[in-house]
Every structure is written in structure tokens, then in C-alpha cells.
Amino acid sequence: MQTFADPLLRAAQTAGHRTAVISEGRQYSHNELRSRCCRLAGALKRLGAEPGDRIAILAANTNHYIEAYLAIPAAGFVIVPLNTRHAEPELRYAIEDAGAKILISDRDPGSLRDLVHAVMMIPEEYEAMLESADESELGIGVTEDALAGLFYTGGTTGASKGVMLTHRNLISNSLHFMTVAPPSPSDVFLVMAPLFHAAGSNGVLGGVWSGSCQIPLKVFDPAVALDLIEEHRVTHTLGVPTMIAAISELQLKEPRDMSSLRMVGHGGSPIATEVVRRAAEAFPTAEFVHVYGMTEASPLVTGLRDEQKLLDHDRGRSCGQALIGVQVKIIDESGNEVPRGEVGEFAASGPNIMKGYWQKPEQTSEVLQNGWYRSGDMGYMDDEGYVFLVDRAKDMIVSGGENVYCSEVEEVLYKHPAVLEVAVFGVPDDEWGEAVHAVVVPRAAVSVEELIAFCRPLIAGYKLPKAITLSSNELPKSGPGKILKRELRAPFWEGRDRKVN
């Protein structure tokens, strides 16, 4: 049985005096990291936290986030990471739905303060509370099946869903990832991906397990990222394709010493072959690893190693093979496995698959069937187990590594009094992979600018339509009256062999 307390204990025992975290100009050893986590647990108990209580965090990547991510589950509480890009209504929904008792925040929480029992502000209150708190022993009474985190992901019906991930889920998946990116105590990880995403925090556990060093990038800036890689001899990093493209282009334009870099991982959305080609030119010493997954799988299920060597091979377009410890298959609507090469729905099974959706048993039963998670992604598998994605069964867009559920955007647009009909879908975008596009049939005069401005305070910026088409014609519909989005999408995807980008 392993819980979040175990990697902290192992790192302190095997690499106690080695640097664990470099953040905000300070360095913390693994001994210090464990001590600070123990004191954070003590501080939260003083604020009234009890086993099983949900504790939300709204903050940028810093040592404080790493400490909270490790300490909250290790102490028997449940962490609720909040997306810093979300608008207040989205944050309010997650806090209320989770029933969060405490909010840890590095920004003014405004009216969110009224939703919780207590707020701990980063850094002043946080540091003061750690200074005065006693160390609380971690892992006492915590089991591997206990809930460790509630990760909120967009909902196909408009409402966000809390993905319940246990200690077993998250710990096992951190070990799964280490099979494609084996770490050592001498490694240095640059944490570019936001820690509120399961992919970003997955690497934190791996770094602690191995006793290596982690450098959280507070706000993504390609110049700062390259400076940190050069200064601290970073060996590993992970980001979404837009981040990889940004640091690659800057490195090609303004070269720095990147010879320490051994692994560049990316995921969150498909990456263009040309981006990998340019990145391999920018970072010639690095192996490129494409990982694919979803929050419901903690989040990783497949990996493609040495991607830079497969750019002229069909498998360079794949998302790799199942990670060691994870099972994958392609199934039909009835859940039966289809022959190799035939398109079906991607499904995964293993110790990393979520417990379910928080307080949503019906939606849980729709995706968890006979021990398998049905992803909604459509694809096929070749004769050596390489998985190729071709489309999505779910009505979802992946833009810059962020999931955008079309129904969420449609629901907001429908609130505008001038909107009669609306359909939202993804279109190819060279920078973001996919962009949010809306087709609106107005019932009264309205401008595109007015509609976008109306949406802005209600949803996250990355969910805003990048373009809106105003149509005087009724949207195409099926016999039962369902809007035929495939007809609206088709012109944008013409000439492409995949319906994801």
C-alpha cells in the first residue's frame, strides 16, 4: 500500500540533502520539502481541516503549489486544483460542488472567500502559518483507496465534473510515467505545464520519488524557460505543444546552451510533425516523448518514445503504446474489441483509472464499464499496439492543451437575447492545434464583437470563440432535430486525414 506520504519519506531518506525545489530565488532540500509539507498539514489542521475535507488551491506554479499538492493528500485531506484561467462563475461552481472547506490562493479570492471556512493566502499567510505550525505526521490512517484529489474537467452537459482520483490512481500513474522517462537523483525537471492539470502534477510525484530537483515555472515565458534550462542544466521538461513550439522557435532564433536537455515531453493535444521537427533541431540532445491521456486516467495511458526519429514514419503520427501497467483497447459501441486497424473508441484500464465523477453516478456509469474507461476518443491500433487517434466521440475541442466542451460555450451564447441558434465546434489552428469556432443564427441584430464581449466574463479566455459566423439560415439538422455539426465542420477540415489537429 502506497500513499502520498511514501515518495516524501523515500526522498528524505535517500536524497535528503539534495535540492528538491528551486522556486522564487530559493532552494529547498528534500528534507526541507518534507518538513514544510508536515508543517503545512499541521497548519491546515489548525484551520479546522479534518480527514476527507476538500481543500482547494488557486495558484501559479511555485514551491507552495508543490508543497500543497503533496501535503494535502498525504495528511488525509483531498486537494481540489482550480484552473487559474477560469472565470469566477467556473471557480465558484467547482468550490461549491466540491464542498471545499479551505482555499489556498495567491490572488484576491473576492467573493469566493464567502464559500469556504478559511482562506490561506500565498505567500504571507502561508509562510506565517508554516512558521508557527507543528509538524504533523503524514500518512497516518490514510489508505491507497482514499480520495487524494478532485480534478475538475469540463462537462459535455455544461456542468464541470469532479474527477475523483485516489492515492492508488495518482501514485501508480506517476510510476507508469517513469517507465517512459526514467529519472535519477541528478536530474533537474523544469515544470512548464500548469500544476492544476493532472499531467503537470504527475511529474511532481515522479521527481520526488527519484529524489531529483524540480523548478516550477510560475508563468510560462519561453525566454525565462530557456534561461532556466541553461542556468540550472535542466535535463527534463514537459509542456503542451504550444509551449514546445514557443521555446523551440526562440532557441532557433536566439541560441543558448541546451546541451543538458535529455527529454522533452508533450501532451494535452496532438502536435504537428513540423513542430517536432523544429524542436528536434532546437534541442538536438533531447529525446521527444509524446504522452496521451485524460484526467480520468490520472492522466497518462500511452507514450511514444524517440518521436523525433519517427517523423517520416506512420508511427510518428501515433500517440504511442500503452504505458507499462496500463491496458488499452479499441472497442465498438457494445464494448467489444475491434480488429487491429479498424476505427473504434479508445478504452483504458488499470490502477490509474478514476474512482468516478464526484456526486455524478449516472455519468460515471456511462464511462466506467466492466473495469474499462471509455474515453470518447476515436482511433485505431496497429499490429504492434501503436494507437492512432482520428476523431472524438465527445463534443469537445482541445485548444492549447485545454479541453473545451462545446456545450459549455453554447450554453453561454444562448444566454444572449439575440441568439436564436448556435453551434460550437473546433477548427484547425496552426498555433493552438484547434480553435473555438461558433456559428450563430441571430433573432435580432447583433455583432460578433458584442457576442464575444458578452461571453468574456462568463467563461475562461481559452473557451472564447476565436471566430463567430453569423448565419441567416437555419442550422442543418437531423430527422430528430439534432444540429449536424459535422456538416458545419466539414469545410474547415477538408483535405485532412484526421478530424483532430
Mean pLDDT by 10 residues, the chain (501 residues): 95 98 98 98 98 99 99 99 93 98 98 98 98 95 98 70 98 94 93 93 94 97 98 96 90 98 89 87 98 96 96 92 98 96 95 98 96 93 94 77 84 88 89 92 93 95 94 76 81 74 61
**Alpha-carbon gap, residue 98 to 55, rounded angstroms:** 9
- Domain 5-378 classification at class level: alpha beta
**Alpha-carbon gap, residue 105 to 40, rounded angstroms:** 14
pTM comes to 0.85
> Are 5-378 and 396-493 in the same CATH fold?
no
**Alpha-carbon gap, residue 196 to 180, rounded angstroms:** 22
- Cell numbers found for residue 263: 527529454
**Alpha-carbon gap, residue 270 to 294, rounded angstroms:** 13
C-alpha closest to that of 396 among 388, 386, 404, 408: 404
Alpha helices, H only, 16-123: 30-46, 63-74, 88-98
Please name the amino acid found at residue 283: F
- Cell numbers found for residue 275: 513542430
pLDDT of residue 268: 81
| CB under 8 A, 24+ apart: contacts of 330-334 | 330/379, 330/380, 330/381, 330/387, 331/372, 331/374
pLDDT of residue 154: 67
Which sign, positive or negative, has the C-alpha torsion 290, 293, 294, 295? negative
**Alpha-carbon gap, residue 405 to 65, rounded angstroms:** 27
Please name the amino acid found at residue 385: G
**Alpha-carbon gap, residue 289 to 266, rounded angstroms:** 6
CA angle 350, 356, 358 (to 5 degrees): 155
Domain 396-493 has CATH 3.30.300.30: yes
- Cell numbers found for residue 181: 522517462
Q: Where are the domains of the chain?
A: 5-378, 396-493
CA angle 93, 96, 99 (to 5 degrees): 145
C-alpha closest to that of 10 among 72, 64, 65, 74: 74
**How far from chain centre, in Å, is Cα 399?**
12
Cβ neighbours of 52 (radius 10 Å): 11
pLDDT of residue 157: 46
pLDDT of residue 156: 43
What residues form DSSP beta bridges with 374?
Answer: 347
**Alpha-carbon gap, residue 160 to 98, rounded angstroms:** 11
- Using CB atoms within 10 Å of the CB of residue 230, give its burial: 0 to 12 exposed, 13 to 18 middle, 19+ buried: middle
